[in-house]
Amino acid sequence: MKHRFIFVVGGVMSGVGKGTSTASLGLILRSKGYTVTAIKIDPYVNVDAGTMNPVEHGEVFVTVDGDETDQDIGNYERFLDINITKMNYMTTGRVYQTVIDRERHGGYHGKCVEVVPRVPEEVIARIDAAAKAAKADFVLIEIGGTVGEYENILFLEALRMMRQRDVDSVRTVLVSYLPVPPSIGEMKTKPTQHAVREINRVGIAPDFIICRSEQALDAPRREKLSRFCGVAENHIITAANARSIYEVPMSFESQHFADTVLKSFRMKAPASNLTTWTKFVDGLMTVKDEVRIGVIGKYFSTGDFTLSDAYISVLEAIKHAAWATGQKPVIEWLNSEAYETDPALLAELHNYDGILIPGGFGSRGVEGKIAAIAYARKHKIPYFGICYGMQCAVIEFARSELGFADANTTEIDPKSKHPVIHIMNDQTAKLKDAGIGGTLRLGSYPCDLAAGTQSRKDYGQASISERHRHRYEFNNDYRTQLEAAGLVIAGTSPDNRLVEIIEVADHPFFVGVQFHPEFQSRPLTPHPLFLGFLKAAKAQKSK
């Protein structure tokens, strides 16, 4: 089978939507009946995203097979509605690790191992393997960073080598940014021209340019870009700011982007089928009834800026469920540390129809989270706790209902007399051997749901599978006592050894899950627990 490879590279600056562009093109090709997969290349030396600070790098997205990847993999899963695995994510660290291991095992048969071609060869081998595994007609490959950086040069070399191998099977899309400086009031093409020069320098000419900007590209600038960048006018796609990322596929479709790509490969362009997607986007654009969700965490600020990328899948999962329940999501970021210095602030939680605490690590802000959970539990505000948000709910319950004032997780207080959350046995051994990276419990695990619980009702089935990323767990030594005090154990591993879901009865919605349901929410199929949470939030408004 012949695979076609579409590389997506960035020019001018990062964060302009390479991931959304990649996912949107993939979605259209898929709607035409082609098999599509997507690969993300992160040029960092880190072996995976697990050791990167989410404020700097954004969310760590966990795949079904337990890889800790970049948030763009999440975008691919949401747009393409497929599960992506380890094979489709690589970093510089991962590639070098394989090359060095191979060298140590004599794999290069006494040859001098030169960076070129050995490193790009390994990159290409990985791309080919992912293409084959997915039986993909099209493989979209997004190279992180921007052209002209040292970091991604070997990945661009892999692109060049793949073109040399078979020029007909490779296309390059440059996603660029066209600023409109307020002092000039005119859209500038020069930075994009420079980006094209940069990529030309490494032997590549872009076949398509996606022009990200505040407003649409006009005719004179399209002509100018075409002339100076050597790209046909109809291969230049305008991508003005969209109201929602989910609108981008329709914008591309209206410019026949995918058809032009297919034509450039001399392939058939069957009609796209975007009916369901368009209906979904129309729905989210017109929904009016607001639902206010407060998300409490700490990974929000960097210098003077607030970033919500650290929780992008949580954010998207809330949106999917809000839209599906006919509500317009209004999501606010609440810093848990503020509740520690000023507990009176907790009263602001009444402004929200639901409170969510996502995953987290370490002690900063944790007491504020526990205080907020106590408030939501006692004032019957719908509460959804994810991973750390579940662990904190168990701590809060043990403190308030069992009177264990020092109840804690050993992550924070290893000396607590009531370690209701403690280190998982399996993880202790891993920590000894492996330091920090890859030492968490990662990937999908099955979970059985108890009859009569909120979770069982929301899922509508008795066993489920969800993705994990944690090192600590519910301590079974406290299970009987906590249950006697009213904590509901709603989900466990099939062997009943691990508590995966806790609930509180007599509450509009109080659910804590050890796993990360947000990774499995898709725009057209929102996650059942997020749906349950958003339904409870809707009911809360009428109270």
Which tokens go with 491? 């989900």
Instruction: For residue 298, state whether it binds ligand GLN (rule: CB under 6 A).
Output: no
**Which residue type, as a one-letter code, is found at position 273?**
N
Q: Phi/psi zone of residue 46: left (φ > 0), alpha (ψ -120 to 50 degrees), beta?
A: beta
- What number of chain residues touch ligand GLN (CB under 6 A)? 11
Contacting residue, 384, 388, 510, 533, with ligand GLN by CB under 6 A: 388
CA dihedral 441, 443, 444, 446 (to 10 degrees): -10
Active site residue 516: yes
Binding mask 389-428 for ligand GLN (x = CB under 6 A): --x-------------------x-----------------
Residue 469 near ligand GLN by CB under 6 A: yes
Q: Which residues, other chains included, contact 183 with Cβ-Cβ below 8 Å and sequence gap of 6+? A: none
510-513 and 499-504 beta bridge pairing: antiparallel
Q: Does 472 bind ligand GLN (CB under 6 A)?
A: yes
Q: Please, which residue, 159 or 442, has the CB nearer to ligand GLN?
A: 442
Active-site position among 211, 387, 392, 447: 387
Q: Which of 171, 212, 399, 470 binds ligand GLN (CB under 6 A)?
A: 470
Task: Name the nearest CA neighbour of 58 among 314, 308, 317, 363.
Answer: 308
CA angle 505, 511, 513 (to 5 degrees): 140
CB 515 → ligand GLN: shortest distance, Å?
9
Q: Which stretch binds ligand GLN (CB under 6 A): 37-45, 97-105, 111-119, 466-474?
A: 466-474
Decide whether 391 or 444 has the Cβ nearer to ligand GLN.
391
Q: Is 369 in the site for ligand GLN (CB under 6 A)?
A: no
The pair of three-digit structure tokens given for residue 499, joined into one six-digit string: 């508590």
Residue 360 in the binding site for ligand GLN (CB under 6 A): yes
> Is residue 109 among the annotated active site residues?
no
Known catalytic residue at 379: no
361 binds ligand GLN (CB under 6 A): yes
Euclidean distance between CA atoms 311 and 373, whole angstroms: 19
Residue 138 CB burial class (10 angstroms; 0-12, 13-18, ≥19): buried
Residue (309 or 348) nearer to ligand GLN, CB: 309
Listed residue (83, 157, 150, 90) closest to 118, CA to CA: 157
Which amino acid makes up residue 470? H
d(CA 540, CA 209): 47
Which residues in the 193-222 window bind ligand GLN by CB under 6 A?
none
Write the DSSP symbol of residue 44.
S
Q: Least distance to ligand GLN from the beta carbon of 507, Å?
A: 22
Nearer to ligand GLN by Cβ, of 246 and 474: the residue is 474
CB of 46 to ligand GLN, least distance (A): 18
18 near ligand GLN, judged by CB under 6 A: no
Which amino acid, 34?
Y
Per DSSP, which regions of 179-256 are E strands? 208-213, 236-240
- Give phi and psi for 257, each to the nearest 5: -60, -50
Residue 362 CB, nearest approach to ligand GLN (Å): 7
Q: Which residues are catalytic?
A: 387, 516, 518
Residues forming the site for ligand GLN (CB under 6 A): 359-361, 387-388, 391, 411, 469-472
